[in-house]
Amino acid sequence: MEILDLRHFSSHDLRPLLEEESRVWADRLSWDYSSSAEMVLRYLDSKILPGYAAVERGQIFGYSFFVYEGNKGVIGDLFVANGSRLSAPHEVEAQLLTHVIETLQQSPGIHRVEAQLLVQEAGVISQPFLQQGFSRHPRIFMTLPLPANLSPAELAPEIEIRPWAETYYQSAAAVITAAYRGHVDSTINDQYRTLSGALRFLNNIVRFPGCGVFDAPSSWVAVHRFTRHLIGVALCSRVRHDVGHMTQVCVLPEFRSRGIGEALLAASAENLRARNFSAVTLTVTEANHRAVELYRRMGFQPGRIFEAFVWEG
């Protein structure tokens, strides 16, 4: 087995592996990975996708890629075919990750590396990260089957839940920045720490496909009627024809514990139910106990535990 630069290959070489990966995403996360796979293949053919391939007799059976975002490297994906020849899959995963991590840590100007690998079960791929000085943050994948039995408490009359609109862009970024100040999730994702970062996050979620396709009708905001200020946001993307995934839920600290988070989530779930979706999913950091508790109470069922890793050099 050899580990080679991904840029030596074309979409023709990687397509069979991505087809297998799409089946794994569908089984484990109810996620239609095909549009993400097509995007990876397009980047591969443009020879602009940095990463590594595990190759045996000319055939790719594992790969990992990363992207540069300013002075940060983000590990985009890691996948090794299950029935891979010769080597144990987890050993190949470790070798690919070691190459990716070393490349990123040695890249001039890169001071931070983030990774969230959803299809890998917690513990399985931790070693190469921990050996290179990364911190580890367990996260939970949760699913709410629809229709769900939701009964959110009535909100105070000055709070209104409204459908998402593009005009909320700037104020949503401000809510995200304030909601995640000092929060474990801004350790995991540094975009939450600044207004410009939160705008980049929103841009990725709302305007680019990748984390599913943004679904405006199931995305909601909470607005204070008198001040007209935005105080909470719930954003949802379609990750399968009948599955929504909450990409963001947050409420300003001074408005918490008044049922706004629950009302936003219930509005998303209700819209998806009315459109015959079968489930809504989300991911939450295990240490974010209040959010985990809220989701459990609403009927979200905990599924796979995966890990986020962060390195700051």
Give the footprint of ligand COA on this chain (CB under 6 A).
Answer: 153, 179-180, 183, 185, 249-251, 256-262, 284, 288, 290-291, 293-294
Residue nearest to ligand COA (CB): 261
CB of 182 to ligand COA, least distance (A): 10
User: What is the number of helices (H) and of strands (E) in the chain?
Assistant: 9, 13
Q: Which is nearer to ligand COA, 151 or 227 (CB)?
A: 151
Alpha helices for 31-109 (secondary structure H): 34-45, 89-105
CB of 212 to ligand COA, least distance (A): 16
Q: Where are the beta strands (DSSP E) in the chain?
A: 2-5, 51-56, 59-69, 72-80, 112-116, 135-145, 159-163, 213-214, 220-224, 230-240, 243-251, 279-285, 301-312
Nearest to 215 by CA among 180, 189, 241: 241
Cβ atoms of 275 and 283 within 8 Å: the answer is no
Q: Which is nearer to ligand COA, 61 or 255 (CB)?
A: 255
Residue 101 φ then ψ, to 5°: -65, -45
Q: Which is nearer to ligand COA, 243 or 291 (CB)?
A: 291
Q: Which is nearer to ligand COA, 125 or 250 (CB)?
A: 250
CB of 257 to ligand COA, least distance (A): 4
CB of 179 to ligand COA, least distance (A): 4
CB of 26 to ligand COA, least distance (A): 23
Q: Which is nearer to ligand COA, 94 or 266 (CB)?
A: 266
